[in-house]
Chains A and B, each alone.
Chain A
């Protein structure tokens, strides 16, 4: 019964969304307040209905109601509760319900908290949001209904893919969707602004929290996915340039460009049509990512389902939403007011360079991901595009970007003094050079890029520190005054510092782990010892254990340094009873500077076990860096100026901004 309620709720939600898409938009065009005011209650109702649907589905999972096909396909009575809950979104249909739920939450948030938005803009934004929701609801109801019943109901379910029964991966989709849907919000704002015919600093200010929030969530989601891959897949890798990984990376790259471009639009009323274009493109990438995973056009470890009809539907959605937005852009963007001027060497110029490089990088990843499809569709055979391609094209693009990142924040708006900035950065530059040389001379046989990677990370960190020091007047005034300034820094500035620093830390981690991994593969018997990276790894024993829906071999390794056992690693090899797939759980011990990593494989039948041991240097810094970036995003979000009304108090604003 509850399941049927959920089903009806979805249908009603579609109807509400259609109304919300049409009326406020028409109302804004005719200045009909009554119609525009429909948006608020409509978005709240939409949220309520979709929440009902989501909760109904969740209840079916928790109660293991196998008469619901979706539950039967993806769940099992013996599954732990956490995975029954996360199983709701661990499949195609359920994940779509989560998508529209988040969409509805964000729409309601704009409706409730967007009090200082002009009425017409708000109405249009909510209408566009509702259009997107309608698209997804139609898709769900016609091709991917989570509430279809099975008759007769099976006694037990097919269990969730064992790889997904993991705390890290349980939260990976919600975070990613928070990101994708957040960018749908910036998309709605962009389209609404195009319809209005006005993009100004106020608009950029309203868009910023959404962009920040979406970017932070996406960073978290991608980080979580990488971390999961690292400890679950069993050989210490964390990024494989797999098409679905790329599908989440491309919106992240463009989202970063969008964030910075919106900054320029807000501070300097410049790069406005760029910002709008980026907002459309970022959401386009999110949708393309959705398309990729569900349509079967590319092979990937991650792909959800391979169903061309679904693919066709999403493609239609894409064409309508993005094609429509681009058409609108082509028509309206030329009419936007040109905006503030700036010299090429200035903060705006640096940010423009940033955007240029990020956009090119995104295009590169796009090219690599879809090239096999391109060739195949032309009938020209096909190729595989793997990590070597990206190493040769993406990485070199990052070098000028990271160089600019060190200098950019130290340049002034409108007219930057490059000489002065470089002067202040001389120390930072010197240290980076020293770091490069040190790394180069100390490392034994690692790749030459390692030195460059380190140098760039130090350069960015140095740039961040220098900019901060200049801003608080360190050295130019007594220390207490500087510290006072530090404490009173706007949060957005702190956020930027944290985020940039986080990137530098992450780059150190990425460089170190790629360059200096040490590995041993062998067959070991209990009692055997192997030497790796100055430690001795001793296999103490292997026992068989039973879990809720699996059984496993668990090994115990003692890690000995100087005759003292410093760590015990307990890797497992799990065999899931229903889906019959084995998974590995690596045994990892972090020392902050490196990870000791052990994986156990299959027995050789004579008392020996295949074993893989690694020392992964600096990997923890990748996760630390990502956490710092997230923290930076959150700190920026908490800046109170973002919650204050539109900028425009008489004394501060100079009367020079014209609007179209």
Chain B
């Protein structure tokens, strides 16, 4: 008799589980469209990019491994890039973090104008003509920021404009710990 009663309670039990699941899904910090990076803890993909400005030094993956670096994909037509820009400048100047900017689907002139207007946080600005490097990194929009450690491995990816909270609470502590 008891087993029969238990069976009748099954729908309620399953429903309870499903409801809990839904509640977890409603967490405001959760973004259902966010894509976790496939490169975390794996070596950065090989790349060799030319500089935006003629004659300036390019950047290649062979040069990774000396210090912790940030790689930031950006474009002049990208509004959130503009919003995060001051944070990047601050990171580069006052916190001494080297940031390498890679241009995503944009015209050289437009970028030059943009950087001229807003200032440049970048140690070097590189072009990625067919977005091949972006594809290799798994970039799906701009801006995106990657933290690469001393062994040339990707340790963190942030998609979207950086905000002060993320920088203070996640990015800087990570960079510090990687530098030890």
Contacts and interface: CB of A to CB of B under 8 A. Distances in A.
B24 interface: yes
Interface in A265-319: 273, 277, 280-281, 284, 291, 295-299, 308, 311-312, 315, 318-319
Contacts of A523: none
Contacts of A318: 19, 22
A545 B19 CA distance: 51
B30 interface: yes
A332 to B, nearest CB: 9
Interface stretch (A158-166, A320-328, A453-461, A596-604): A320-328
B169 interface: no
B12 interface: yes
B21 A326 contact: no
B26 A312 contact: yes
Given A297-B22, A315-B23, A323 B28 contact: no
B33 interface: yes
Nearest to A297: B25
B55 interface: no
B36 A333 contact: no
A326 B14 CA distance: 10
Interface stretch (B1-9, B68-76, B135-143, B156-164): B1-9
Contacts of B15: 284, 322-323, 326
Interface string A322-347: 11001101100110000000000000
B21 A370 contact: yes
B116 interface: no
Contacts of A333: 8
Contacts of B57: none
Contacts of A281: 11
A406 B152 CA distance: 64
Contact of A373 (B5, B12, B32, B36): B32
A315 B15 CA distance: 12
Contacts of A330: 5, 8-9, 11-12
Interface centre among A277, A281, A291, A333, by most chain B C-beta atoms within 10 angstroms, is: A333
B36 A323 contact: no
A315 B26 contact: yes
Given A323-B12, A330-B11, A299 B24 contact: no
Interface of B: 4-5, 8-9, 11-12, 15-16, 18-19, 21-28, 30, 32-33, 36
Given A315-B23, A326-B15, A330-B11, 10 more contacts: A281-B11, A299-B33, A312-B26, A318-B19, A319-B19, A326-B11, A329-B8, A372-B32, A377-B21, A377-B24
Q: Which 9 A-B pairs have the closest CB atoms?
A: A377-B24, A326-B12, A297-B25, A330-B9, A373-B25, A326-B11, A330-B8, A311-B26, A299-B32
